[in-house]
Structure 1
Amino acid sequence: MKKIAFLGLGHMGAPMARQLLAAGHPLTVWNRTAAKAGPLAAQGARVAADPADAVRDADVVITMLAGPQAVRAVADAILPLLRPGVHWAEMSTVGPDAVRELGARMPAGVTLVDAPVMGSTDKAEAGALGVLAGGDADAVVPVLSRFGPVTRTGALGSGAALKLVVNTAVIGGVALVAEAMRLADALGLDESTARDALARGPLGGAVARAFATDVHFGSDLAVKDVALATGTTELPAMEAVLAHFEAAAADPAVVHEDIAHAVTRIRRHPGKSHEQERRSP
């Protein structure tokens, strides 16, 4: 069995790491907040003191981190230690530019794969995520398959690109449902009646995600993903969505909560960004 180093034990990373332990892989884990590694240590994982310690003997390195800056910081720490033959599966949502930037830094003989996932914490717990694998993923498909079905997307960066498209659609759909419910509120409609009608229409999946209670994707992460999308090309509708989630992320009560909590905020407040609200008289 391949020795795996898993870096990043947040809401998604921890259940994914448990899938690897359940499959019998020798696993070393690291997380910036060390306490989050405790439950995995109790299940047999070795807890590393730092990223460099985590990857020292690894055959496969997996990162599931908050964003591009976190990935760059980990790369600075581990790249000098990656030996020829090691495969790095970068599974965070960072966008294709960050993946290609990272690929250009790989030492000789080290292979980078971008493999972000579709699905939230419930799918991670069940081993039923959808893995979008870009680059030369042949050697790591058996490992990635522990998280769920693997879709090969093409060249390095294509997995990250497709994940950005998927997340943009999901987050935009959730914001649209929230605005539709805001309209229903303004028109005095019964909430359950309006919600059920939307759920039976083409936005049914977005309705389910907008009112989900057993998953987690924070408003701050939604801001990061939509900002990556709107920084890539002109997306006027998503600029408005970004304003909604920027406002939610500026609210301490909502910032780290699932985007379903932002739905309530959108229904109650205009879609101004934090910066716009600051400038308002």
Structure 2
Amino acid sequence: MTEIAVLGTGRMGASVAHRLLDAGHPVTVWNRTAVRTVPLQRAGARVAGSPADAVRRAAVVVTMLTDATAVDAVLSGPHGAAAALAPGACLVEMSTIGPAAVRDLARRLPPAVDLVDAPVGGSVAAARAGQLRVFAGGAAPAVERVTPVLAALGSVRHCGDLGSGAALKLVLNTALLVAVTGLADTLAVAGAVGVDPRTALDALAGGPLAGALARATAPDADFPVALAGKDLDLVRAALAGAPAPLVSAARTALAAASDPTADIATLVTREYL
């Protein structure tokens, strides 16, 4: 089995680490808030005191962090992981940071270390069940080398060169967030014109917003509004001023949400769901 380090054990990172442990891999974990590593330690993971300590023996290092700033701090900050990566190791960047940040990261890694960007589709339940969709970008030999590890998490799609997985993830998150905010407006219209909630939901379940409706009613999803807003900011930066009014409208809806820590499904009125 492969020696793996997981840096970042929030809800998604912890779910990934648990799944890798269940698959039989030896896993070392690190998290800025150490208490979040306790359940993983009980499950058999080794807990490291710093990112550098976590990665020294690892053949594969997974980062699952909030944003590019957090990735940079964990890799290049005090006791950072980058300088401690072993020659021949592969860093698998699973955070949603966008393709530009991935390519910048590649320039700052030691030359004997490979990088694969591998953001995912799916939430914590899919991670624990090994049903994520993994979008991998990078050189073919590097992606092939880490595919047996990533396959424990779900289906793996090699999207192309480095940054291509991160790019596809932005496309998918744009579709998701525009659709969920569109569903919120659609249900507001249904309420305004007096359509029975059950009738509206049944009709929408067979229409173009069926996927958004399924996501809004999923009981085990976890995509906080604040992180969704961060992702749309990445999208808007990538657009470089090109008009995208629906993206702008979705970002405005996220900014107006009452609880930025809640799942994006809370954008949709509870009256209907």
Is TM (by shorter chain) over 0.5? Answer: yes
Task: Give 1:211 deviation, angstroms.
Answer: 2.4
Is 1:243 matched with 2:252? yes
Kept in 2: contact 1:19–1:127 (CA 8 A): yes
Q: 2-side partners of 1:57 and 1:152: how far apart? A: 26
Report the more deviating stretch, 147-156 or 18-27: 18-27
> Which residue number in structure 1 is paired with residue 71 of structure 2?
71
Q: Identity over aligned residues, as a percent?
A: 52
Q: Unpaired segments of 5 or more residues in structure 1?
A: 268-281
Kept in 1: contact 2:58–2:86 (CA 8 A): no
TM-score normalised per structure 1: 0.91
Task: Give 1:83 deviation, angstroms.
Answer: 2.3
> Which residue number in structure 2 is paired with residue 83 of structure 1?
86
Q: 2-side partners of 1:222 and 1:264: how far apart? A: 18
Q: 2-side partners of 1:97 and 1:25: how far apart? A: 31
> Which residue number in structure 1 is paired with residue 101 of structure 2?
98
Alignment partner of 2:183: what SS?
helix
> Which residue number in structure 2 is paired with residue 147 of structure 1?
153
Match of 1:264 among 258, 264, 269: 269
> Which residue number in structure 2 is paired with residue 2 of structure 1?
2
Task: Give 1:98 deviation, angstroms.
Answer: 0.6
Q: 1-side partners of 2:163 and 2:229: how far apart? A: 21
> Which residue number in structure 2 is paired with residue 169 of structure 1?
175
Alignment partner of 2:268: what SS?
helix
TM-score normalised per structure 2: 0.93
Query: What code does the residue aligned with 1:24 have?
Result: G
Structure 1 stretches (4+) deviating beyond 6 angstroms?
none
Q: 1-side partners of 2:124 and 2:193: how far apart? A: 35
- Residue-pair matches, total: 263
Alignment partner of 2:136: what SS?
strand
Alignment partner of 1:9: what SS?
coil
Q: 1-side partners of 2:268 and 2:65: how far apart? A: 25
Task: Give 1:264 deviation, angstroms.
Answer: 2.6
Alignment partner of 2:81: what SS?
helix
> Which residue number in structure 1 is paired with residue 144 of structure 2?
138
